[in-house]
Amino acid sequence: MIEEFRKTSAERDIPLIHQHMMRTFSLRREEIITSSLPVSELKDRWPALFNETQLYCEFHRITNLHLPHVFYAALDEYAPRLIGLYKKKKTGRVGENMDQLLLEYEQQDKNDICTTRTAALAGLPIYLKEDSSGIFKTCKDEMEFHEAALALVADVGEEDVPAGVPFSPRQVFVVLEDQVVMTHYRWTDALVCLFGLIYALHLSYPVKCSSFFEFIQVVLLKLDDERKQLRPKLQTLKNELV
């Protein structure tokens, strides 16, 4: 399979790659969970996990969910209500940060579903009072070095971006352990890939932004890991969305 990923995309034998990934799933999961290998080594050993199609297949093998389909269906359901809640946050630093985001949102094309999706996700860390600055970053040039254990780095040129989440990035880099492992042209799609990689590589959620990722896991994807209850601020938000 490693040889297949040395070929161009057009030359790869996709059915063969998929068959190999299915056959080696148990071995791969055991290795990833028990060995704690660096991401660079995992990328060398299992390059298909960093291919978007195979990443989603791996997520399905782990959870029995089609990640982008379930994620976007739930997000599109909750996004209008989330933005409605954001508009009520009018006090203190949280209110100021939310106002900046909503002002930028109001200047976007509302007919573009990605606009609403981006606003709903960008506002979540603000609403949950989490510091996402180390996770959602921007850069002015794609050649900048991206130093982060786990991050989305959006190439925005000279644009000023509220909350580190752009509505129209030039491209978005998925960064793990200081290296770009995937690239996308939409911020929300890059986030879906990042979440898939967290599951596929058995990574922990960033401590400072853990509620954001738990919201995706428990509320959007309904993957609760048999937990007894959510932390209070997430439970409150979930109740407000009913």
Please tell me the distance from the alpha carbon of residue 137 to that of residue 154, in angstroms, as a whole number: 6
Distance of CA 33 to the CA centre of its chain: 20
Whether the pLDDT of residue 83 is over 70: the answer is: yes
Residue 224: band (very low, low, confident or very high) from pLDDT cuts 50, 70, 90: confident
Kindly state the tokens that stand for 54: 């195979």
Residues 133-144 pLDDT 10s? 999 998 887 666
Residue 18 confidence (pLDDT): 84
Residues 4-15 pLDDT 10s? 556 656 556 677
Reference 129, options 96, 166, 103; nearest CA is 96
Q: 147 with 178: CB under 8 angstroms?
A: yes
Reference 171, options 159, 191, 155, 160; nearest CA is 155
Residues 19-66 pLDDT 10s? 999 999 999 999 999 998 999 999 999 999 999 999 999 999 999 999
To the question of pTM greater than 0.85 for the whole model, the response is yes
Q: 234 with 211: CB under 8 angstroms?
A: yes
Residue 91: band (very low, low, confident or very high) from pLDDT cuts 50, 70, 90: confident
Residues 100-134 pLDDT 10s? 999 999 999 888 999 999 999 999 999 999 999 99
